[in-house]
Structure 1
Amino acid sequence: MKNFAIKKARPLPVIILADTSGSMSINGKIDAMNQALKDLIDTLGGENRLHAEIQLSIITFGGDKAVEHLSLKPAHQITDFTPMEAIGRTPMGDAFAMAQALIEDNERIPSRAYRPFIILISDGYPTDSWQSAFDNLCKSERAQKGTRLAMAIGDDADIKMLEDFNNDLEASVFKANDARDIIHFFRVVSMSVTSRSRSVNPNESVEIDFDTPEEDFLDLDFQP
């Protein structure tokens, strides 16, 4: 009898860059994002790992610097999510540099990993020197091959920068006007990630449609 080794699922990284500057405390924006991310973690953590193991990192930028609020780990191993707090300025350049360092770290994201999702959410403009770090991230090999999505919250976001970050020609920058829009964005992201993870080839792109009606999310065990 031959001994058959169990093939380990390849990582599918999901890296979220989340604005936690002081302006996110207004009109319930940070509360909506906390709820949306908690739902995202619950959904991704419940996915089977036959083809891909979804791994999640959340990098926040607020106050004086960016921090890895949730260190990269398999979604099914995340048992607790500490709510984010909104405070201070918008050190987005620091977050771009941190994200680049993460995706280029072959110990944390091995070469066998599937193409990552990198998601940027902001309601304003960077308050630090960001352009160089932004360019370096977007030009890095893994970020170019990955799916980059962006959400602008409110009317004061830097739309041009978010458009430059976004690399999905079929899914333009999503504009959120209220808490429900923020939650809707993350539901579409969840559906896109799980669709890829269930695919025979999780490196293949999936259609991302932010006009997806709410009832379609019931298939992913979302609660309205």
Structure 2
Amino acid sequence: MANIYEGAVEVSRRTMTLFFIVDASGSMDGAKMGTLNSAIEEVIPEIRKISGENADAAIKIAVLEFSSGTRWITPAPMDAEDFTWSFLTADGLTDFGEACKQLNEKLSRKAFMGDVAGSFAPAIFLLSDGEPTDEYASSLAKLKENNWFKKAIKVAVAIGEDANRDVLAEFTGNKEAVLTVHTPEALTKMIRFVSVTASQIGSKSSGVGKGGVDEAANKQDEMIDKISEVKAAEPDDDGDLEW
């Protein structure tokens, strides 16, 4: 009897890239960077699990750090299954404008978005504790013209009171997508919440808009709804140590 599965071709899943854009300037040194490193390392297995169980898309991870200049920790997006977090160190300035420029260059089918099977809009997670030290307005303006960026789920975490929340709101497109934390416990919670929730929402097919603007807008709205729920449930940071 012939094997009915003989010659069957496995259908490749689309991909969804989760970008971590991390402020590694000198003001992040100590508890902030230590907490960030540990929290992201601990959440990676959950992202792997979401990716492995997802019939619609495989999740990839890309990491950009910015301080005095920028550095892609991942030369290209890596499958969550193969990704291991590399602990970052903090030093230097806060070249946020350069980070926007680098992200804009990679959000292209000629760069990070050229997956053969096709890509869902990415999820972009920005973490920062300070004020840009370079000219960022022109680079951010160009980034906001990028169609992949327009469609992306965008969330930012402001770490401590010195973080410029207005700049982070410019990046995400609205202040509702900016979370503020003042303690290591809160930072750990928010890194897990954003990473897991953005991965879940970003890597599913909504069946609306077929990956276009409608689907992307729905996903960003869904993410903001989840953020609003968290803010309502936990209006104040917990823990004793504040930055």
Q: TM-score, normalised on structure 2?
A: 0.78
1:136 to 2:151 alignment? no
> The residue matched to 1:70 in structure 2 has which SS?
coil
| Secondary structure, counterpart of 2:120 in structure 1 | coil
Secondary structure (helix, strand or coil) at the match of 1:41 reads helix
Match of 1:184 in 2: 189
Q: Does residue 1:55 correspond to 2:60, yes or no?
A: yes
In 1: Cα distance, 2:26 partner to 2:108 partner: 30
Q: 1:188 is paired with a residue of what secondary structure?
A: helix
Partner of residue 116, structure 1: 122
Runs of at least 5 residues in structure 2 that lack an aligned partner in the other structure? 235-243
Structure 1 residues not aligned, in runs of 5+:
215-224
Distance 2:150 2:132 in 1: 22
Aligned-pair CA distance for 1:108: 2.8
RMSD: 2.3
Q: Does 1:160 align with 2:166?
A: yes
* C-alpha distance 102-40 of structure 1, shift in aligned 2 (>3 A): farther
- Secondary structure of the structure 2 residue equivalent to 1:32: helix
Read off the aligned partner of 2:86 and give its amino acid letter: T
Match of 2:95 among 76, 82, 91: 91
Normalized against structure 1, the TM-score is what? 0.84
- How far did residue 150 of structure 1 move? 0.9
Deviation at 1:167, TM superposition (A): 3.1
2:153–2:202 contact (8 Å) kept in structure 1? no
Q: Is the 8 A contact 1:55 1:75 kept in 2?
A: yes
In terms of Rg, which structure is larger? 2
The answer to whether 1:39 aligns with 2:45 is: no
Higher helix share: 2
